Chain A
Amino acid sequence: MSRDGIAGLAVLAASLVLYALTLDLKDNPMVPVGPGFYPRIVLGLTALLSLGLVVSDSLGRKNRPKEAPKAKLNYALVATSFGIFALYCVALPGLGFRIATFTYVVAANAVLAPPRGWKGWAGSIALGLATAFLTWLVFERELSVLLPRGAWTGF
């Protein structure tokens, strides 16, 4: 089974699980149809479409042309970048916007383009400081958009 078939199966499974959950929803006497009416239509449709994707993937397996070799992609870098970003999102309420943003920008920049020597690190740190300070200044001070305060740092 190709990626399409696997994706189709995943969507089918999710649709069926959610469909089963809609059966527990109680109808509202105020309206002719309950809160589960529309979700059942949507999930039934999604289940059918994903089943169609699985079937067409299985039927088209023999006729599928060989894929041309693709350029080598750096998935390790994607995973690391995502990990750092996820840590940033998790740490934001604890560290506060300024500290978390500074740390995130320096770390992400260093991962995407590893700094060479002290000049490289100085550049990364300057970028982190500038981003954290300028965004805070523009949003909190100028545009009155509140940014997260740190529960651990109070900053």
Chain B
Amino acid sequence: MLELLGTALVNVAQFKYLLPLFLGTLAGVVGGALPGVTITMTIIVVLPFTFGLDPLQGLAAMTGVYVGGSAGGLVTAVLLGIPGTPSAIATTFDGHPMARKGQPGRAIWLGVWASFFGGLLGGAFLILATGPLAKFALEFGPWEFFSLFVLALSMVAGLVESSLAKGLVAGGLGLVVTILGNDPVMGQKRLTLGMPSLEGGIDFLPVLIGVFAFAQVMTEVERMGGAARLGDAVDRSLSLAVSHLKVIWEILSRPFLLLWCSFIGVLIGVLPAIGGSAASMFAYDQAKKLSKQPQKFGSGSPEGIIASESSNNANVGGSLVTIMAFGIPGDAVTAVMLGALTIHGIQSGPLFIQQNPQLAYGIFAAYLIAHPLMVLILGVAARFMLRIVTVPKAALFPVVLVLCVIGAYALNNTMQNVHILLAFGLLGYAMVKGGFPLAPFILGVILGDQIEINLIRAIMTDADPWLFLTRPISGGLLVLSVASLAFAIWQHRRHKARAAAEADADF
């Protein structure tokens, strides 16, 4: 393993791979710093640029975006009090107060170095856990895969913050998208609704681009008009100079906090589609509970910044484990990476690491190298970021949508995918406005075909439906699915009861 990793590190350090990795990390940092532009949107914009590259170059660029984006959000969170990405929300709580107290450099660099160390701890987990988990997944038959995918979908639907019913309906709608067009087992036409363009089914990437990028742009557009420009809030005389050794010591002198919050990040990353924002909020909450000075949280506590940033970068490692070992995207960003693998004809899943060891270790190496690159970029450009956030959205959004169209069109050089992008962009926007979560929908679209294929394979192997329950791993996974839904129902009821109690207390 170490030999493969060493070779991959040397390989990725070549200019051919280092350049896309650097550019991806830069794009991630900039996209992460721009409020209203998520990491998902950034990776969707970067996707078409990877079509003409070899698989490792493309995946290195995407890994860079993911790592850079997870850290980039902290710049505006600290300096403006506006998180660049949802995963930097918790950083705002203490980063911005610390900056306002005259220590913007300390706040920024605590975040950057905590992201660096958290990310590397996530990387250690990624490298050590992917192989054994993939080996374990090789023991799976169609029953286990079916149950695993059902578990992923039920967890995502259950863990969304809005209503459970809406989460489940959204997941169901995602599955409905995959039954249109053709049957993935025998290739028979079905439910084409009289549209020849549907006969080949619906690719998930244009759906994902439409749902995430287009809907996101439109939700930003609806708030445009008359708002103050972000640049107006920027004090350009700020000094970000700091003693790096002091900052690093400030982080490393709290080893338990760093390890615990990184562990939380990794764990939440492994669970499908929950994402960095949940990881950083949960880690922040844990750090506050475990702190000797919880009263200082919210007023510029370094522990709050370390907790939030270490967990959201460790989360990236966890998300990559899920996709590389099981073929299940940990979040929307890894879903785009899954699409990029498919474009290059590579099948993700448990056989991925065995069949493509150079590519798999190349991704590990790109992940590790992206961290020092991220520190370097933020070191040189943190002040410059303040100017970048003043880019008018009226100029940015049309360009983003043009890149989305290129991404959809270039998948197979047909306008059909552009029309799908348009249709699902509209659906995604309607879902956002209706309060339906997008994560279960997109996971349904991605996993639908695999759920069907494994269900039919299981029935073709043995028609006994009880095998789904009596095979230990499959049964265990289905029990976990039910338990996750039961937990979600309990959590929603408790939340409702608390809200009602608080409302009564107001009177």
The answer to whether the Cβ of B49 comes within 8 Å of any Cβ in the partner chain is: yes
Chain B residue at smallest Cβ distance from A25: B190
Interface positions of A from 42 to 62, Cβ below 8 Å from B:
42-43, 45-46, 49-50, 52-53, 56
- Asked if residues B415 and A93 are in contact (CB atoms below 8 Å), the reply is yes
Per-residue B-contact encoding for A59-81, CB less than 8 Å = 1, 0 else: 00000010000010111011001
Per-residue B-contact encoding for A16-37, CB less than 8 Å = 1, 0 else: 0010011001001011110111
- Known contacts: A43-B179, A108-B397. The answer to whether A11 contacts B415 by CB under 8 A is no
- Known contacts: A4-B435, A18-B191, A142-B52. The answer to whether A53 contacts B169 by CB under 8 A is yes
Interchain CA distance A86-B105 in the complex, whole Å: 45
Set of chain B residues within 8 Å of A25, measured between Cβ atoms:
188, 190-191
Interchain CA distance A44-B405 in the complex, whole Å: 34
- Asked if residues A112 and B419 are in contact (CB atoms below 8 Å), the reply is no
Set of chain A residues within 8 Å of B436, measured between Cβ atoms:
7
Residue among B435, B448, B451, B459 making CB contact with A32, cutoff 8 Å: B459
- Asked if residues B402 and A104 are in contact (CB atoms below 8 Å), the reply is yes
- Asked if residues B410 and A146 are in contact (CB atoms below 8 Å), the reply is yes
- Asked if residues A46 and B222 are in contact (CB atoms below 8 Å), the reply is no
- Known contacts: A18-B176, A42-B172. The answer to whether A105 contacts B190 by CB under 8 A is no
| Chain B interface category by residue count | 35 or more
- Asked if residues B402 and A50 are in contact (CB atoms below 8 Å), the reply is no
Chain A residue at smallest Cβ distance from B430: A7
Interface centre among B166, B188, B410, B419 (most CB of A within 10 A): B188
CB proximity of B82 to chain A, nearest CB, Å:
16
Per-residue A-contact encoding for B246-263, CB less than 8 Å = 1, 0 else: 000000000000000000
Set of chain B residues within 8 Å of A148, measured between Cβ atoms:
409, 415
Interface positions of B from 403 to 460, Cβ below 8 Å from A:
403, 405-406, 409-410, 413, 415, 418-419, 421-422, 426, 429, 434-436, 448, 451-452, 455-456, 459-460
Set of chain B residues within 8 Å of A145, measured between Cβ atoms:
48, 51-52, 406, 410
- Known contacts: A35-B188, A89-B422, A105-B398. The answer to whether A46 contacts B406 by CB under 8 A is no
The answer to whether the Cβ of B141 comes within 8 Å of any Cβ in the partner chain is: no
- Known contacts: A7-B436, A32-B459, A85-B401. The answer to whether A143 contacts B172 by CB under 8 A is no
- Asked if residues B191 and A39 are in contact (CB atoms below 8 Å), the reply is yes
- Known contacts: A35-B183, A77-B221, A89-B418. The answer to whether A49 contacts B397 by CB under 8 A is no
Residue among A74, A93, A113, A142 making CB contact with B392, cutoff 8 Å: A113
Set of chain B residues within 8 Å of A155, measured between Cβ atoms:
none
The answer to whether the Cβ of A153 comes within 8 Å of any Cβ in the partner chain is: no
CB proximity of B381 to chain A, nearest CB, Å:
21
Set of chain A residues within 8 Å of B190, measured between Cβ atoms:
22, 25, 35-36, 39
Chain B residue at smallest Cβ distance from A110: B394
Per-residue A-contact encoding for B30-62, CB less than 8 Å = 1, 0 else: 000000000000000000110111000000000
Set of chain B residues within 8 Å of A82, measured between Cβ atoms:
218, 426
Residue among A31, A109, A138, A139 making CB contact with B185, cutoff 8 Å: A31
CB proximity of A62 to chain B, nearest CB, Å:
13
Interchain CA distance A78-B215 in the complex, whole Å: 10
- Asked if residues B176 and A46 are in contact (CB atoms below 8 Å), the reply is yes
| Chain A interface category by residue count | 35 or more
- Known contacts: A82-B426, A88-B405. The answer to whether A131 contacts B165 by CB under 8 A is no
Set of chain B residues within 8 Å of A81, measured between Cβ atoms:
218, 221, 397
Set of chain B residues within 8 Å of A21, measured between Cβ atoms:
191
Per-residue A-contact encoding for B183-199, CB less than 8 Å = 1, 0 else: 10110101100000000
Residue among A22, A38, A42, A109 making CB contact with B398, cutoff 8 Å: A109
- Asked if residues B459 and A101 are in contact (CB atoms below 8 Å), the reply is no
Interchain CA distance A28-B188 in the complex, whole Å: 9
The answer to whether the Cβ of A147 comes within 8 Å of any Cβ in the partner chain is: yes
Set of chain A residues within 8 Å of B175, measured between Cβ atoms:
42, 45-46
Interface centre among A15, A21, A38, A82 (most CB of B within 10 A): A38
Interchain CA distance A85-B426 in the complex, whole Å: 11
Interchain CA distance A93-B48 in the complex, whole Å: 19
Q: Which 6 A-B pairs have the closest CB atoms?
A: A143-B52, A113-B394, A112-B394, A46-B172, A35-B183, A108-B398
- A interface residues with partner B (beta carbon < 8 Å): 3-4, 7-8, 11, 14-15, 18, 21-22, 25, 28, 30-33, 35-39, 42-43, 45-46, 49-50, 52-53, 56, 65, 71, 73-75, 77-78, 81-82, 85-86, 88-89, 92-93, 101, 104-105, 108-109, 112-113, 127, 131, 135, 138-139, 142-148
**Can you offer 28 A-B residue contacts whose CB atoms are under 8 A?**
A18-B176, A22-B190, A22-B191, A25-B188, A28-B186, A32-B463, A35-B183, A38-B179, A38-B451, A45-B172, A65-B503, A74-B223, A74-B225, A78-B222, A78-B429, A89-B419, A92-B418, A108-B397, A112-B224, A112-B397, A112-B398, A113-B224, A113-B395, A139-B52, A143-B51, A143-B53, A146-B410, A147-B406
Q: Other than the known A104-B398, A127-B399, what 18 A-B pairs have Cβ atoms closer than 8 Å?
A: A4-B435, A7-B434, A18-B179, A25-B188, A35-B186, A35-B190, A53-B169, A78-B429, A85-B401, A86-B422, A88-B405, A92-B405, A101-B402, A109-B394, A138-B49, A143-B53, A144-B52, A145-B51
